[in-house]
Amino acid sequence: MIIHFTLEEFLISDTANQIGVSNYPTWEITRNLEKLALTMELIRSGLGDNPVTVYSGYRSPPVNSAVGGATNSAHLYGLACDFVIPDFGNPLDVCLAIEPHMAFLQIDQLIYEIDWIHLGLATSGEPRHQCLTITANGNTYEGFR
């Protein structure tokens, strides 16, 4: 299997640079990022092998705090990324295409965030296979709208 993702693209953080903190993971988090990259590779392949643009991957605690991330965010563990696949379709199209495969892909959360998709793998236990929409004004809904 060809892997189109690099560790570096899951670590890039303008926020880390702006606030002058490290966004480098531990070995354990690096292993989680490898698992995330394999999941994202399956998604890329399943959606026509179109390029994936990763907006956010791992977030160190100071970075997660600075961006207003949840205190239990999967980003903190290297188990989440925010992304788009423009050549496949808009973020809603991508969410709808991934949704039927969430159990196979072991996805904990798939969140349609209007401008991008958030994909999270379970930090522990069984994945919830949860689909959510977060609107521009911050409202959260079950399913995709």
Token output for 8? 């570096």
Does residue 42 sit in helix, strand or coil? helix
Span 22-42, pLDDT tens digits: 999 999 999 999 999 999 999
Structural domains in the chain plus CATH codes: 25-142 (3.30.1380.10)
Q: What is this structure's pTM?
A: 0.94
Closest by alpha carbon to 76, among 49, 95, 57? Answer: 57
Report, as an integer, the average pLDDT of 51-58: 97
